[in-house]
């Protein structure tokens, strides 16, 4: 997909309207560990020298403090920032690839957390190129956990892990990649895609569970057929219903998966954030959410602002 910019900008803005900033910063969980794609990446891709999927230049971050691009694929904060603030943290966990011996003291104690997400990645390792795959994100967490458990009071660290929030926001890129090669898929192809992806997703959750995770927050797949880079493929400029149906079916399967895992894995608790419904509501009724434009990309050029990257010279929409 040529345009990896602010694809779910509407979702970020909706989060900002409904999740108020906490001023007391009383942590509701010891830490937050984040896995997924551009919807929650806070800068890991900045450190990937071969990756072109980056957001560390203007106009990204134009509404971030000091208008600073950070690697978030947003005008400012993204989903995980608002979740972290709502959970009592002043800022969201740092990107894993930014860690060094001077900034990981609290993290090794099982506090604050870490963000492993990488823009362009998916649940399937075949999704994306020159990114941190879903499997590699888990391996990074396993490496970090080993260092944490080597610290004094390892029992306390393990307890904090069991109380921490493990947030996953992935699947949208998988759906886009599938539809890119199957624009008129038959039922057998769709079923195979779901089964393959859900098997991988289940393995990921079981791996995290074996490493001490117990509390999961899952952001489901947005209506990817409504992102501007998809709309340009539609002569009317409207959402592509087939892509949205793929996303909705995937969400139903993810919900069923977690329902099954909650029974099979003692102590596992989960919640599912309905980004599909929330985003579609904002797109369908933009004025009621305070938006004027929801069909075009917030930054870019060409048709629907969706045919080039977001740069200093790109057209910038305001909300």
* pLDDT over threshold 80, residue 6: no
Q: What pLDDT shows up at residue 185? A: 92
Domain range for 278 is 9-316
Using 50, 70 and 90 to split pLDDT, how confident is the model at 14? very low
Could you tell me if residue 3 is inside a domain?
no
Alpha-carbon gap, residue 310 to 3, rounded angstroms: 8
pLDDT digits (tens, 9 = 90+) for 79-116: 999 999 999 999 999 999 999 988 889 999 999 999 99
Could you tell me if residue 96 is inside a domain?
yes
Q: What pLDDT shows up at residue 160? A: 98
CATH of residue 267's domain is: 3.40.50
Alpha-carbon gap, residue 313 to 309, rounded angstroms: 10
Q: What pLDDT shows up at residue 21? A: 43
pLDDT digits (tens, 9 = 90+) for 145-163: 999 999 999 999 999 999 9
* pLDDT over threshold 50, residue 15: no
Does a cis peptide bond (omega within 30 degrees of 0) precede residue 280?
no
Could you tell me if residue 188 is inside a domain?
yes
Could you tell me if residue 4 is inside a domain?
no
Could you tell me if residue 1 is inside a domain?
no
- What is the DSSP-derived secondary structure letter of residue 95? B
Mean pLDDT, the chain, as a whole number? 91
Could you tell me if residue 174 is inside a domain?
yes
Alpha-carbon gap, residue 13 to 52, rounded angstroms: 25
Could you tell me if residue 17 is inside a domain?
yes
Could you tell me if residue 66 is inside a domain?
yes
Q: What pLDDT shows up at residue 318? A: 67
% of the chain at pLDDT higher than 70: 92
> Residue range 51-57: average pLDDT?
94
Alpha-carbon gap, residue 141 to 314, rounded angstroms: 37
Q: What pLDDT shows up at residue 266? A: 98
What domain count does the chain have?
Answer: 1
User: What size, in residues, is the chain?
Assistant: 319
8 Å CB contact between 75 and 298: yes
For residue 74, what are the contacts with CB-CB under 8 A and spacing of at least 6?
6, 9, 12, 55, 60, 61
Using 50, 70 and 90 to split pLDDT, how confident is the model at 316? confident
* pLDDT over threshold 90, residue 176: yes
pLDDT digits (tens, 9 = 90+) for 239-262: 999 999 999 999 999 999 999 999
Alpha-carbon gap, residue 297 to 303, rounded angstroms: 9
- What is the DSSP-derived secondary structure letter of residue 135? H
């Amino acid at each position: 997909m040529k345009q990896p910019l602010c694809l779910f900008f509407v979702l970020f803005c909706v989060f900002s309207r409904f999740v108020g900033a906490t001023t007391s910063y009383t942590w509701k969980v010891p830490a937050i560990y984040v896995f997924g794609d551009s919807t929650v990446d806070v800068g890991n891709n900045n450190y990937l020298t071969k990756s072109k999927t980056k957001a560390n230049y203007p106009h990204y971050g134009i509404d971030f403090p000091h208008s600073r691009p950070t690697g978030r694929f947003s005008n400012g904060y993204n989903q995980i920032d608002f979740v972290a603030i709502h959970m009592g943290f002043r800022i969201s966990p740092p990107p894993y690839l930014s860690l060094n011996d001077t900034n990981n003291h609290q993290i090794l104690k099982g506090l604050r957390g870490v963000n492993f997400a990488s823009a362009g990645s998916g649940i399937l390792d075949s999704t994306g190129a020159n990114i941190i795959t879903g499997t590699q994100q888990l391996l990074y967490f396993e490496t970090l956990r080993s260092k944490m458990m080597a610290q004094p009071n390892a029992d306390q660290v393990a307890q904090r892990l069991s109380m921490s929030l493990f947030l996953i926001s992935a699947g949208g890129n998988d759906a886009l990649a599938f539809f890119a090669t199957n624009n008129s898929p038959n039922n057998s192809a769709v079923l195979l895609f779901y089964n393959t992806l859900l098997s991988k997703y289940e393995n990921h959750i079981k791996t995290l569970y074996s490493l001490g995770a117990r509390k999961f927050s899952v952001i489901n797949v947005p209506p990817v057929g409504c992102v501007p880079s998809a709309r340009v493929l539609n002569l009317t400029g409207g959402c592509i219903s087939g892509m949205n149906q793929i996303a909705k079916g995937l969400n139903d399967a993810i919900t069923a998966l977690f329902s099954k895992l909650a029974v099979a894995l003692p102590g596992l608790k989960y919640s599912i954030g309905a980004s599909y419904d929330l985003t579609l509501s904002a797109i369908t009724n933009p004025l009621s959410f305070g938006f004027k434009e929801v069909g075009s990309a917030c930054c870019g050029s060409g048709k629907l602002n969706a045919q080039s990257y977001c740069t200093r010279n790109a057209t910038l929409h305001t909300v």
